[in-house]
Amino acid sequence: MMINNFFLLLRQELVITAIIFILLFIKLGKDKSNESLLHIINVLLFINLLIGFFPMMEGGLFNSMFATNKLVVLEKNILNFAFWIISLQSYSWLKTHKHVIEFYILLLSSLLGMFFLLSSDHLLMFYVGLEMSTIPLAAAANFDLTKRQSSEAALKLIISSAFSSSLLLLGISFLYGTTGTLILSDIGSHLSYNPLQIFAFILFISGFAFKISAVPFHLWTADVYEGAPIAVTAFLSVLSKSAVLFAFISILYKAFASLSSMWYLVLIVLSMATIVIGNLFALRQENMKRFLAFSSIAQVGFILIGISGSSHQGSSSLIYFILIYVFSNLAAFGVLSLVSALTGKESIQDFKGFYKNNPTLSWVLTIALFSLAGVPPTAGFFGKLFLLMAGAAKGNYWIIAIAALNMVISFYYYLRVVKAIFMDENDQPIEKLSIPIYPKIAMFICIAGIILTGFLTVVYDYINSLSISL
């Protein structure tokens, strides 16, 4: 029985571990061509994704350090899906790369870390998961071995994540000192507005703010995103961020529920700063990766507003938004990674006149950007509005007004790229690029997701039925 439970509850983690082992064995065996390797890996990842959709039981393991339920499984499935898409999209880049297997092993270990992070019901498990999800990324960020910027990105990532982890650890120790427990579901009942606990909470939230790059803890983001290879940037900005946000909301709503009036204020301040600063910096970016980095900072600001409503609606709109964010951001990164792999061009200037030779890619990028901006009929519209609606539940309409007007500012920089693609003249636009089959599948799925998610209300209803509330 025990063994059965072990295999059933840890199913997703075990599959990923198995894939890592398979990759190791392939590495030890005789050399295979990159292409056949990528076929195998993409199929394995697809199987991994499928396995997550089988019905799952709920329960805990290891003295309830590890807990899983339907919501956690859903979150893991979203992450699995995003990882599969990233893998499909990096096909063109990895085809000629020397270290395909190492790349996948690093990212899969990070994904495994995220899974433990999401399932953690104990602060130690939480910390181990978080570290496991960030440390391999530093190595992955350095994967363009010949680029100096890439090593710089890796160093920045490891230092800033070490710093934020130490803040988190300090917070955890204070929490342990004042409450006497590390089990997340027990902490709540021991919390009062004791100054040391508040201090611990502040440390905790700063650590988190680092990981999701909320202003003023965002300074590492742009450089790391710019320096890392696009696949890693996509992984950082979609998977890492989503995983940490999922963990964040469950800790806030479960463990820190009794401090809600306190973190409500903190979140409002953080979100306003994040939206405004993120937007202002995004306005002037010339490099597409930096541009997406800053725009994703602004997106986090919107997410924080949604969380601050501290309701059932807040958590379901967060998960819904992240699902849509996965579709839209990965569609954008998909086009970027293809263009960058085939031409090496990454600046907005290079995209001038892009529509002339690459209409399909242009529309994919445009629809993705519209979805990020929150324009109907794309799903991004619903995602963003539901976050703002959740935020407005507490009656702070001025905050919502500021956020809504900031959507207009963000609109400017998204439209700037659209303008470059469709309207600007260019003597030497990017030539016609042929799209390999894997990126094509990935883009198709993303675009279908962007267009359909808003109208298939089943998705929202399902998420809503699972969400936690205060």
Residue 437, beta-bridge partner list: none
Q: Which of 214, 200, 219 is nearest to 159 (CA)?
A: 219
Element (H, E) at 27: helix 11-28
User: Could you tell me the smallest distance in angstroms from the CB atom of residue 291 to other proteins?
Assistant: 17
Q: Which of 240, 246, 208 is nearest to 224 (CA)?
A: 240
User: Could you tell me the smallest distance in angstroms from the CB atom of residue 282 to other proteins?
Assistant: 15
- Considering only residues 289 through 318, tell me which ones interact with other proteins, judged by CB under 8 A: 313, 316
User: Could you tell me the smallest distance in angstroms from the CB atom of residue 314 to other proteins?
Assistant: 12
419 binds other proteins per the rule CB under 8 A: yes
User: Helices 100-119 and 11-28: crossing angle, nearest 10°?
Assistant: 160
Q: Using CB under 8 A, which of 22, 51, 400, 441 touches other proteins?
A: 400
When the beta carbons of 105 and 369 are compared against other proteins, the nearer one is 369
User: Could you tell me the smallest distance in angstroms from the CB atom of residue 414 to other proteins?
Assistant: 10
Stretch in the footprint of other proteins (CB under 8 A) among 63-71, 112-120, 419-427, 430-438: 419-427
Stretch in the footprint of other proteins (CB under 8 A) among 40-48, 202-210, 248-256, 384-392: 384-392
Element (H, E) at 79: helix 70-89
Helical H segments across 191-311, by residue range: 195-211, 219-227, 230-234, 241-254, 260-283, 288-308
461 binds other proteins per the rule CB under 8 A: yes
Check if the beta carbon of residue 147 is closer than 8 Å to that of residue 340. Answer: no
User: Could you tell me the smallest distance in angstroms from the CB atom of residue 385 to other proteins?
Assistant: 7
Check if the beta carbon of residue 309 is closer than 8 Å to that of residue 392. Answer: yes
Radius of gyration for the chain, computed over Cα atoms and rounded to the nearest angstrom: 21
Check if the beta carbon of residue 123 is closer than 8 Å to that of residue 176. Answer: yes
407 binds other proteins per the rule CB under 8 A: yes
Give the 3-state secondary structure of residue 287.
strand
User: Could you tell me the smallest distance in angstroms from the CB atom of residue 65 to other proteins?
Assistant: 33
Instruction: Retrieve residue 58's tokens.
Output: 């709920």
458 binds other proteins per the rule CB under 8 A: no
Q: For the window 343-382, what string marks contact with other proteins as x by the rule CB under 8 A?
A: ---------------------------x----xxx---xx
When the beta carbons of 35 and 461 are compared against other proteins, the nearer one is 461
Site residues (CB under 8 A) for other proteins? 313, 316, 370, 375-377, 381-382, 385-386, 388-389, 392-393, 395, 397, 400-401, 404-405, 407-408, 411-412, 415, 418-419, 422-424, 457, 460-461, 464
